[in-house]
Amino acid sequence: MPKPLRHVVSLAVLGVLAAAPVSAQELQESIVLSVSPKMVRWADVYKVRPTRPDDPYYHVRVIERQKDWKVWQFNELAFHMAVTPKALETSRIDKKAKVYSYKDVEIRSAYHRWLEEPETRSEVPVCDTDILSCIK
């Protein structure tokens, strides 16, 4: 591509990016909940940024996986749970463990449904102690 045309294209791309509306970002992390010689349990955590006054919770999906299982094998212990910030911190442990990223379309759509349809919020359990106690 000729140099003058490259500059025009670059400016056009920057203009489109600058004109695009800023949308909410979704914070996502995985936290380790428990580790044993055979099993790892973790939570994938989601939170829309900027935070919304009508949603003080973090939203989690809880997964367990035996260490000798194939990469694609796992158990989903909780599909969607709302968790208080205190319960999230209480649940987090300092041990390191290998966690995997599995398809999360369902939790993301359930979370967005929570945000956009407040009447459905009663269907989602809210944890205010620690995550593993709440799923038992």
Return the pLDDT at 123: 92
Return the pLDDT at 20: 35
Task: Report how far residue 78's alpha carbon sits from residue 80's, in angstroms, rounded to the nearest whole number.
Answer: 6
Task: Report how far residue 21's alpha carbon sits from residue 119's, in angstroms, rounded to the nearest whole number.
Answer: 28
Contact 61, 44 (CB under 8 A): yes
Exposed, middle or buried: residue 35 (CB in 10 Å: 0-12, 13-18, 19+)? middle
**Per-residue pLDDT tens over the stretch 60-92:** 999 999 999 999 999 999 999 999 999 999 999
Return the pLDDT at 78: 94
Return the pLDDT at 127: 96
Pick 5 or 120 by higher pLDDT: 120
What domains does the chain contain, in order, with CATH numbers?
A: 24-135 (3.90.70)
- The Cβ of residue 38 has, within 10 Å, a number of other Cβ atoms equal to 10
Q: What does pTM read for this prediction?
A: 0.77
